[in-house]
Structure 1
Amino acid sequence: MLKAVILAGGRGKRLRPITDYVPKPLIPLNNIPIIEWQVKYLKKQGIKEIIICTGYKAEMIKNYLEMKNNFGIKIKISVEKIPLGTGGAIKQAGLSIKDKSFFVLNGDTITNINLKQLAKKQNAIASIELKTKFGIMETQNDIVTKFKEKKEISDLWMNAGIYHLQNEVLKDLPKKGDIEKTVFPDYAKKGKLRTVKFKNVFWYSIDSFKDMEECSEELQK
């Protein structure tokens, strides 16, 4: 019965001019907005209630979700009057979370990561193998021996933007600021932060027009 928080308050500056007119969560991938892909993903993972943290063009997001009104899952909106950062947004949304733990999902992440696996560890970050969009060269004695395109780099893990957090984290979060720059470094120093590693999963962070194009193609497959 866990709740999930979607961090969807950013301006999406790198996707201008589209985001001058619509908020990033409403940008369509194969005619379905990012936020709808995420809600359906969370419902499939067994989540019963979602709190969406919004700021920029919040009314448009709220209106879209109310218009759809057929997801079969409880959705709340937590509006930031001023930008609070990821930590502040989670802290504000957390006022309505009484469960022992909850999930957090970045508002531009499209994935199929298994949340039940992530839930096995407290205060855990989902991690995936680092990906590169550039061709990798294998070399020997300064001679190029082979090219590999868009390779996942083994044994280097990146933050997938999906977290399983215990309720007590809320008191440590800043009222304004990013969780990645405040609580996470502090917890890491104290040995209080875990990770669950996922290999060969579907994962995209929609930060550019190229990301939109590549993710849309993969979703069609």
Structure 2
Amino acid sequence: MSGRSGSPAEPMHGAEAVVLVGGRGTRLRPLTLSAPKPMLPTAGLPFLTHLLSRIRAAGITHVVLGTSYQAEVFAEYFGDGSGMGLDLEYVVEQEPLDTAGALRNVGDRLSEPDVVVFNGDILSGVDLPGLMHTHRANAADVTLHLVKVDDPRRFGCVPTDDEGRVTAFLEKTDDPPVDQVNAGCYVFRRSVIESIPADRPVSVERETFPGLLASGARLQGHVDASYWLDLGTPAAFVRGSADLVRGVVPSDALPEEPAEALMLDGARVAEGASVTAGSTIGQDCVVESGARIEASTLFDRAHVAANAVVERSVVGVDAHIGEGAVVRGAVIADGAHVGSECELLDGARVWPGVRLPAGGVRFSHDC
């Protein structure tokens, strides 16, 4: 934790939450053709369920979802939130407004002094009461969760001073001065949200935060090395799901205790098949003898034939992996069919309904 020390993290009284889930998830296509990214099955549940469960466990009950793409899917699944002990509201973004614009768009639904804001595609182990304590102990206008990463060159960096105050927002560079980056989770004073321009796109990192710094507002960093993963790519998605299954990252929504594999209702895994490394086998899936599933996610009713290998991959609803096929680091969309002895290499994506021929054909691209 950065900034002045104080008492242990207090409960999240006087706080509510906003989760921004309006993105189209283009980097995860073709998976997001049928569902928004936060609703993709992750360790047996829509990803957003895991995030909402952590928000509830931290003591926050009022949550506003800022939606856009396939907005109706969220309300159909979660309803008013009472099933999770939450009071959920939904605000639909008619046109893309960027992060700060989307936050301003939900402003009239907020009433508490402090608002915890989440990007809806981040899997994180941040201590939420600890984040709030940093915010209040430093009387901050905005507090940013900043995470230390091994390779900050891939991100814009956020330096802080000796008291943990944010001093700048830097673009990507080959020689970053610090290893801490914006983790996509913030605490805002509600009055700051109300000051964001309405009804137009506003970038939080390019406009809102630099403007606050220039005005002398206090932007505080809460710096840690907690688990953090942007689920925006297929590789990250399967890793995040596997880490949830194995208990590497916390979730109060997991249907079972952490384990090497998660088998959902009706899944049939034959003797002699191997399912490991945090794999999820969806409802009514079939995994035949000799097949090996490693660090992968099989959506409902997927079928993996005898002696096939599926590693670090996603296999969609009703998809079929043929006998002896090898699928590594690939996405097999809903209803697709991979022929026997086919080999799909890292980055290959098979689109909905496509049927790949049998006979040892190798693919390393979109099909």
TM-score (norm 2): 0.52
Q: Distance in 1 between matches of 2:152 and 2:40?
A: 22
From the superposition, tell whether residues 132 and 213 of structure 1 become closer, same or farther in structure 2 (CA, over 3 Å): farther
From the superposition, tell whether residues 18 and 75 of structure 1 become closer, same or farther in structure 2 (CA, over 3 Å): same
Q: 8 Å contact 2:64–2:90 — kept in the other structure? A: yes
Shift of residue 67 of structure 1? 9.1
SS in 2 for 1:70: helix
Q: Distance in 2 between matches of 1:22 and 1:191?
A: 42
Q: 8 Å contact 1:103–1:164 — kept in the other structure? A: yes
**Alpha-carbon displacement from aligned partner over 1:77-103 (angstroms, at most 9, x marks no partner):** 111122222112111211121211110
Unmatched segments (≥5 aa) in structure 2: 1-12, 154-175, 247-367
Shift of residue 133 of structure 1? 10
Q: 8 Å contact 1:6–1:52 — kept in the other structure? A: yes
Identical columns (%): 26
Q: Distance in 1 between matches of 2:61 and 2:238?
A: 31
Based on CA coordinates, which of the two structures has the bigger radius of gyration? 2
**Alpha-carbon displacement from aligned partner over 1:138-194 (angstroms, at most 9, x marks no partner):** xxxxxxxxxxxxxxx995101010000001112321322222221111123344211
From the superposition, tell whether residues 63 and 131 of structure 1 become closer, same or farther in structure 2 (CA, over 3 Å): farther
Shift of residue 23 of structure 1? 0.8
Q: 8 Å contact 1:174–1:182 — kept in the other structure? A: no
Shift of residue 73 of structure 1? 1.0
How large is the RMSD of aligned CA atoms in angstroms? 2.1
Q: Distance in 2 between matches of 1:48 and 1:171?
A: 21
2:239 alignment counterpart: 214
Which structure has greater strand proportion? 1
Q: 8 Å contact 1:124–1:163 — kept in the other structure? A: yes
With 169-178 and 81-90 compared, the bigger mean Cα shift is at 169-178
Q: Distance in 2 between matches of 1:22 and 1:216?
A: 16
1:124 aligns with 2:149: no
Unmatched segments (≥5 aa) in structure 1: 135-152
With 66-75 and 25-34 compared, the bigger mean Cα shift is at 66-75
TM-score (norm 1): 0.85
2:35 alignment counterpart: 22
1:157 alignment counterpart: 180
Q: Distance in 1 between matches of 2:193 and 2:81?
A: 31
Q: Distance in 2 between matches of 1:207 and 1:174?
A: 28
Q: Distance in 2 between matches of 1:54 and 1:22?
A: 13
Which amino acid is the alignment partner of residue 57 of structure 2? K
Task: Return structure 1 stretches of 4+ with deviation > 6 angstroms.
Answer: none
Q: Aligned pairs, how many?
A: 202
